[in-house]
Amino acid sequence: MKWPRVHLKPYDYVVIAVALLVIVAFSRLAVDRGGPAALVEIRSDQGDLVYALNEDRVIVVPGPLGDTILEIENGTVRFVDSPCRDKICVAAGALSASGQWAACLPNRVFVTVSAAARDESLPDIDAATF
């Protein structure tokens, strides 16, 4: 099978370039949450908890299935253990960059790494996320 030759016009190249720039700009906005990571925000049925990312500690968060264990160590946070069946949250690994998140949905525990100063222009996580 022989592919037909495509002849692009000058404005086709402009449209392709603009589309690529828009994709790169939105990708950077989606990843960059403004500033170096400094806080760990934990949301659960028990309420919201906030910890400094630079203070090593083990956190036990109760949930409907049992206790979820999180560990903050060396500037990262990770799920150590959870009573959920598949342990996808544990497999997510360590989080260290602002904007990264992991969740144990069966146990309703959501962890986010964020910058020190919370940017109020960023959207909050809504109930549909849980």
Assign residue 112 the CATH number of its domain.
Answer: 2.60.320.10
Does residue 41 form part of some domain? yes
Q: What percent of the chain has pLDDT over 70?
A: 82
What's the pTM? Answer: 0.63
Residue 111 lies in a domain: yes
Answer whether residue 83 shows pLDDT above 80: yes
Cβ(98)–Cβ(29) below 8 Å: no
What is residue 117's predicted lDDT score, i.e. its pLDDT? 58
User: Among 12-16, 76-80, 117-121, which stretch is predicted with the lowest mean pLDDT?
Assistant: 117-121
Is residue 94 assigned to a domain? yes
Report the domain count for the chain.
1
Per-residue pLDDT at 10: 86
Domain that holds residue 69: 37-116+125-129
Which letter, b or e, does each residue of 30-46 get, where b requires 16 or more Cβ atoms within 10 Å of its Cβ? eeebeeebebbbbbbee
